[in-house]
Amino acid sequence: MEPSAPFNFTTPQAIGPFRIVRLLGVGGMGVVYLGERIEQFTQQVAIKILHPHLFPATAEEKLEREGQLLAALEHPGIVRLLDLGATEKGLRYIVMDYVNGAPIDVYCDDHRLPLRRRIEILIDVCEAVEHAHRHLVVHADLKPENILVTADGKPMLVDFGVAAILSQLGASDPRSSTVALHGESEYTAFYASPEQRSGDRLTVASDLYSLGLIAQSLLTGLKPEPLPIGALHSSPGIMPPLAASKKLRGLNHDTLERLAAHRSTTPQALFAAIHGDLEAILNKALRLDPRERFQSAQEWHDEFERYLLGYTILTRPVSWVTRIWKWMLRNRLAAALGCVFLLALLFSIVGVVRQATEAARKRQIAQTRLHDLVRLTDLLAGELYESVHGLQGSEAAQAALLNSAHQTIDKLAVEEDRDAQLELELAREYEKLARLELSRTPLTPEAVRQSSDDLAKESNILQRVDSKDPEAARIAGRLPELMRLRDAAARKQIPQS
């Protein structure tokens, strides 16, 4: 990267107590060298010599401002200011801790970090940015090159060269109270916010927009597109609001495979992960209107935390089904036990319903069968019996009809799952058969024995039903009389020949 204007000077061998080791890079604000402390103890530092043409009259003020800002930002994710001053030739410089790390996008891709780990790094960046914002400092130049990740995976924010104190942004003179000086060297065009491009006053939302472009690049691989400095808010180059999943689907297969491989996943899995919560979070961070973005880095930090922990995010509304599903994912053991319980309960309910349905079906069949058998019994032991009663030689016919009726009722009596109505109907039928047996002419010992058997079966049935039932009480009330008739008939019966 070349300076915006010629910057020719002889590199000094030492600056203050540090000697120059090698060139680290050239940026919009100046040239950065790796330095080492000459005496006392070993220490590596980054020395930034500022472009003199950028600060012909205000260099001292800008240098002093940057020193004040960095000195106030004591955070493990923000580089420390160690020294500031001017060389013998009048070159302004600042000395900061040297961060031996790679730009955040290079580090993530080189290590093929999955989306979850990338989000964890972004959460650390949000914490550092929030710390700066709480101290009324806008970085104003957030880009991957200014977020270095160390070997142990810790991100560090560097280069607050164009930062501003938020308390000064309300001054009457916008050009003296903002850091947007409309010069290309003041910030990197690709990652600048719309208001920064158009020269408007900056707020924390401007940093959050730039961080949104960085997050978009880390999570999807989609890079911001270049726009000329001073582009208006309506400029279409940065894709806000962004439908990242649709943008990914527009890429060719090889590019998709490469992006997915850098994230240790597949194109299909990358689509599924980006679509939904992550896309909603990115879209909110990249709103053109600063009032529609996240209003603090902490708010964005909390949304990422909710996403990683499996909670519903606040950026977009979700259905109760989604809330339940996310709860199940967070509480897998409880959800599994709950599902087992619900399945057991469901199977139990289904079993009870099936049993009740089967019982009702059987009861209906039994009632229908009883109705048919009662009609048959009445026919055999009633109408037909009466039709042959009194005829000469009718004894055999009577016995055959009564025997058929007994067989019919006995078959029904052995069936299970009879309700009270069926039991009482059987008791009435046995009572009816006992009376017919006792009315046979001539009365035989077999008829008396059969009537006793009928009355015993009737008595057993009445013992199983509720004695308080009116119908059961009426049937039971007739039973003693029938027993007396049977006993009388037994004394008068004709001996068997």
Residues 405-415: tens digit of each pLDDT:
788 777 777 76
Question: H helices within 156-240, ranges in order?
Answer: 174-177, 194-197, 204-220
Helix or strand run (H / E) with residue 83 = strand 81-86
CA distances from 86 to 31, 59, 60, 388, 404 (A): 14, 10, 9, 140, 128
CA distances from 251 to 43, 220, 241, 243 (A): 46, 11, 18, 13
CA–CA separation, 282 and 119 (whole Å): 12
Percent of the chain whose predicted confidence (pLDDT) is above 70: 74
Closest CA to 450 of 461, 440, 462, 463: 440
pTM exceeding 0.75: no
**The pLDDT of residue 294 is above 70:** yes
Does residue 33 come out as left (phi exceeding 0), alpha (psi in the -120 to 50 range) or beta? beta
**What pLDDT, in 10s, does the model give residues 216-235?**
999 999 988 765 444 444 44
Closest CA to 462 of 432, 433, 407, 420: 420
Burial of 204 (0-12, 13-18, 19+ CB in 10 A): buried
**What pLDDT, in 10s, does the model give residues 154-181?**
999 987 655 544 434 333 333 333 333 3
CA–CA separation, 334 and 328 (whole Å): 8
Closest CA to 183 of 195, 199, 206, 200: 199
Contact between 377 and 405 under an 8 Å Cβ cutoff? The reply is yes
The pLDDT, as a whole number, for residue 301 is: 94
Contact between 207 and 142 under an 8 Å Cβ cutoff? The reply is yes
Q: What's the full length of the chain, in residues? A: 497
| Strand spans (E) along 104-229 | 137-138, 147-150, 155-157, 164-165
User: Could you tell me which residues come within 8 angstroms of residue 134 by beta carbon, excluding any fewer than 6 positions away?
Assistant: none
